[in-house]
Structure 1
Amino acid sequence: MLRQIQTAVALIYPPRCLGCGGLVESDFGLCGSCWRETPFIGGTICDGCGLPVLGANDGFRLECDDCMAHPRVWSRGRAALLYRDQARALILALKHGDRIDIAKPAAAWMVRASAALLDDAPLIAPVPLHWTRLLKRRYNQSALLARELARQTGLEYCVDMLQRRRRTASLDGKTRAQRFAALGDAISANTRHRLLMQGRVILLVDDVMTSGATLTACSDACLQGGAADVRVVTLARVTKQ
């Protein structure tokens, strides 16, 4: 009976591509064309942010030019996609277009990308939004990704581990220095969860990493709150052209 109902639903609402809306074989999938236009990260990668780097993995820590020039507060980082082409379109749809259905497959991509970061049972926490921005947007896309990541890995998740104490201006178009200056002490550990954070490995989740200013502020807040280690995973990483 259940299979008959599922078949009927599939006939009425056939699976659609997350990118273009075309027909696909399964839910939450991409058609061949959109898959080719979605730049998944693979091969040799930077241990600091997950950006692809030249050369072979020789077992030693590898870092991109950006991470070498600006050492990260967190210990290791990964990203699933490069922020361009179809990946950029999907993230903007998730962030601003109410396409919360993208969170489930996106989290699956992040699980694969962050496999090396999941030892020691990290506590998953999203990058927070200020309450005024949350009220306007109605959801935090990073929290959606973090919750789904936790569900798919079975790891512990805390939606309000961090909080934004003050609203900051949009960071779009800002220079690296402006981004870091704008954040300052805007993010802090939630005092209600300090015991939960003590001595734990924290896995921070965000949708996009550009300069790393937001993730730096969040990592600082975690370490000041008593975390033993901080790792980061983002859905996408911005690259310099």
Structure 2
Amino acid sequence: MSDKFSSLEWLPDAVDRAEQPLKPSLRNIKVASHLRRGLHFVLDALFPHSCPICTDLVQGEGGLCLSCWQTLELISPPYCERLGVPLHYELGPNAWSATALVNPPDYDRARAAALYNGPARELVKRFKFYGEIRLSKFLARCMLNAAAELVEAESFLVPVPLHSSRLRERTYNQSALLVKDVGRHLSGQVLLDGLVRTRRTNQQVGLKRGARTANVKGAFAIADHFLPKVSGAHVVLVDDVLTTGATVEECARVLKAAGAEQVDVLVFALVDPENMSDDSD
């Protein structure tokens, strides 16, 4: 069903372009608005949308049904200032979790919309491995509250890159899609190719923390066109999920070695270190 819907995504875009006459008038705007609503009504009637988790029908494309939405474990305060993981009780402003105190990461802050379990885990798997790129807009909307705390006008929004061979296999970089959709709502500077992956690494799934770190060691570099801008920069790395943090920490080390002043991490979901397992993606 998702392929059928994705093939229709140009239709609302075509209406968007039709809404921009050379000399806009209130009447034209109202007519275009009615046309757009009518078009969406017809499409929804002809091709009902389904929840990506349970396949129950939902009103709009890319959203969850009420039942699945209620089981999504959204992250809200109090949470660790450094890792972004929920705290069991309020410890005051800028509190760190025990994990962050014992083993602080190489990035400065991480923020996520949800914990990586239940519906969030299923959403990431469908988005990342099953080609359901329509989910990008929904995941990005969920990430906006977390993003607002990190992103400022001078921030660079940079996706975690895929190696060129893996990009050819998958045909898209899920992190780049999230950057584009998050960037539409924020004032930061979107830079889709700020980092490059210099060698193909093994999949991180199933690897323990030490093996994950070794797997991505030396696997990233700063793109030549971005290098002159890195010194003193604030970079927000964007990815779909944060598990051990090995990948984003390696990216952060490369950026900071080149002079980046601050490197933060924005993801849709993260794994609570207290519930870490080796099969996390």
TM-score range, shorter chain: over 0.9
Q: Which 4+ runs in 1 deviate beyond 6 A?
A: none
Q: Which amino acid aligns with 2:75?
A: I
Deviation sequence 1:26-68 (CA, Å, 0-9, x none): 3332111111222111121111221101221522x22222222
What is the alpha-carbon distance in structure 2 between the residues aligned to residue 121 and residue 106 of structure 1? 23
Q: Which amino acid in structure 2 is aligned with residue 108 of structure 1?
A: R
Distance 2:117 2:39 in 1: 39
Query: Could you tell me the TM-score, scaled by structure 2's length?
Result: 0.80
Aligned residues: 240
1:48 aligns with 2:121: no
User: Does residue 163 of structure 1 match 2:196?
Assistant: yes
**How much does 1:108 deviate?**
1.1
Structure 1 residue aligned with 2:212: 179
Q: Give the counterpart of 1:11 among 45, 63, 70.
A: 45
Aligned counterpart, 1:192:
225
| 1:203 matched to 2:236 | yes
1:126 is aligned to 2:183: no
Kindly report which structure 2 residues correspond to 1:36-185, keeping only aligned pairs within 5 A, or say none.
Answer: 36-59=70-93, 61-119=94-152, 121-185=154-218
Q: Tell me the C-alpha RMSD between the 2 structures.
A: 1.6
The answer to whether 1:26 aligns with 2:67 is no
The structure having more radius of gyration, on CA atoms, is 2
**Structure 2 residues without counterparts, runs of 5 or longer:** 1-33, 276-281
* Structure with higher RCO (Cα < 8 A, 6+ apart): 1
SS at match of 2:54: coil
SS in structure 1 at match of 2:77: coil
Q: Which runs of 5+ in 1 are unaligned?
A: none
| C-alpha separation in 2, matches of 1:14 and 1:199 | 49
Q: What's the TM-score, normalizing by structure 1?
A: 0.93
- Measure the CA separation in 2 of the matches of 1:153 and 1:57: 30
How far did residue 109 of structure 1 move? 1.1
8 Å contact 1:162–1:221 — kept in the other structure?
no
Supply the distance in 2 between the matched residues of 1:17 and 1:216 (Cα, whole angstroms).
34
